[in-house]
Amino acid sequence: MQWRRQATVLLFPSAWMGKKNMDGSKFSVAEHKRAAEERKVQFFHAPLTYPITASKLQTVHNTLREAEAATKDTGPVLVQCKTAYRSVAAVVSYLGAKEKKSWPWAMRLAEAVGFSFPLLEGSDSTSAAIRQVLPGSSNILGSSSTGMDFE
């Protein structure tokens, strides 16, 4: 099998190093990087910790932009974390910002992949952070300057 240029972005906080994974093995950013690079997959680390804030999302957006540029027209970018919560928040906010979409669009995209942030415990700050990083999403309803954007 010939590998296409791909990338993975790991959102685990560095503080998790040495902690146990679900299978009992110890978590290691270095181990994830080594495994990715052995398979010719570019590796990026963008620690995203709770509570998720607009500032943290914007920092992760920089890494996602870098990973996307590194694989332009050649392969996908895998964004991963332990439960997919941070991955989904990072990706929907990144895509929404990139495509100039509104907060409701991002929430619908999250729901389409199985996440309903408004229903998840502790998600108020995450929803607020996503709302803050998306264009025209300054009010509670998430209306954009051009009206509601539910494409």
Backbone phi, then psi, for 45, in 5-degree steps? -120, 125
N- to C-terminal Cα separation, the chain: 37
Smallest Cα–Cα separation from 57: which of 3, 118, 133?
A: 133
- Report the DSSP pairing between strands 41-45 and 6-10: parallel
- Output the pTM of the full model: 0.74
> What pLDDT, on the 0 to 100 scale, is given for residue 22?
64
What does the pLDDT look like over 103-121, one tens digit per residue?
889 999 999 988 887 666 5
Residue 125 has pLDDT above 80, yes or no: yes
3-state secondary structure of 9: strand
Task: Please state the length of the chain.
Answer: 151
The first and second tokens of residue 148, run together, are 């509601």
CA-based nearest residue to 151, from 116, 99, 113: 99
Query: Binning pLDDT at 50, 70 and 90, where does residue 141 land?
Result: very low
Q: What does each C-alpha distance from 138 to 8, 22, 37, 47, 67 come to in angstroms?
A: 31, 38, 40, 26, 28
- What mean pLDDT do residues 97-108 have? 92
Which pLDDT belongs to residue 83?
A: 79
Percent share of the chain, pLDDT over 90: 28
* Kind plus residue range of the DSSP H or E element containing 130: helix 124-133
